[in-house]
Amino acid sequence: MPEPSAPAPAALPLGALSFTLALVALAGYVDAVGYLRFAGVYVSFMSGNTTSLGVAVAQEDTAKLLELAGVIGLFVAGVVGGSLLHRRAGRWGNTLLLLVIVGLLGLAYAWPPAAIESLVLAMGALNASVHQVGRVKVSLTFVTGTLVRFGAGLADWLSGQAPAQDWLWPVALWLAFLAGALGGAAALRHLGGGALLGAAGLSLGLAVVARRVRGTA
């Protein structure tokens, strides 16, 4: 007798997918604004900052070294603080996190001397909001990992070992980050510092709908 086929995996929840893609686009938007405003320092992409930190150490560039080390430390602090808030708030976790992010983005706009610190803390906190959609793991700003999952999922699909959604979903995440980065760069070009108000508005909109989203963890 032929072996019974494995049951098809449950479809990913559309609301959670849309919400997560919007979060990824927000991260790309803010990262592009930060990158352009702060001479190549990323506010959400710590892999790039880690490479730059190693270069700064090798070149004995103390000022850059301290700046990058501070940014990485603030990002981790944002993740820690965001994770603790998310756990304590329960089902209101994403709503409260996004409201905190609205405040940090507003601070970055209103008080430019504290802009990079505020943006880095905001992006660290953002990464505490969603880790999984349905059965799929999510890293909001880890673009390299997203592309690795795309490649592995595509290989599995081509060999008949996994459904198409295992590689389509990472592609959607990558495209969302790219679209957000394009939007952030364009907004900064045309609006200057006001581009941060666009990011704050998106965060506020996401905070409003976060309570109704199901299927994320």
pLDDT above 70: residue 210: yes
Nearest to 163 by CA among 13, 10, 16, 21: 10
- Kindly state whether residue 41 falls inside one of the protein's structural domains: yes
Q: Provide the 8-state DSSP code for 136.
A: E
**How many C-beta atoms surround the C-beta of residue 42 within 10 A?**
25
Q: Which residues contact 155 (CB under 8 A, 6 or more apart)?
A: none
- Kindly state whether residue 158 falls inside one of the protein's structural domains: yes
Q: Which residue has the higher pLDDT, 188 or 170?
A: 188
Q: Give buried/exposed letters for 4-30 (b at 16+ CB in 10 A, else e).
A: eeeeeeeebbeebbebbbbbbbbbbbb
Global confidence as pTM: 0.86
**For the chain, what is the domain count?**
1
CATH no. for residue 68?
1.20.1250
- Kindly state whether residue 5 falls inside one of the protein's structural domains: no
- Kindly state whether residue 8 falls inside one of the protein's structural domains: no
- Kindly state whether residue 4 falls inside one of the protein's structural domains: no
- Kindly state whether residue 125 falls inside one of the protein's structural domains: yes
Q: Which residues contact 7 (CB under 8 A, 6 or more apart)?
A: none
**How many C-beta atoms surround the C-beta of residue 185 within 10 A?**
18
- Kindly state whether residue 117 falls inside one of the protein's structural domains: yes
Q: For residue 217, what pLDDT is reported?
A: 62
pLDDT per position as a tens digit, 105-161: 999 999 999 999 999 999 999 998 876 776 667 777 777 777 777 777 778 777 877
- Kindly state whether residue 217 falls inside one of the protein's structural domains: no
Domain span holding position 112: 14-210
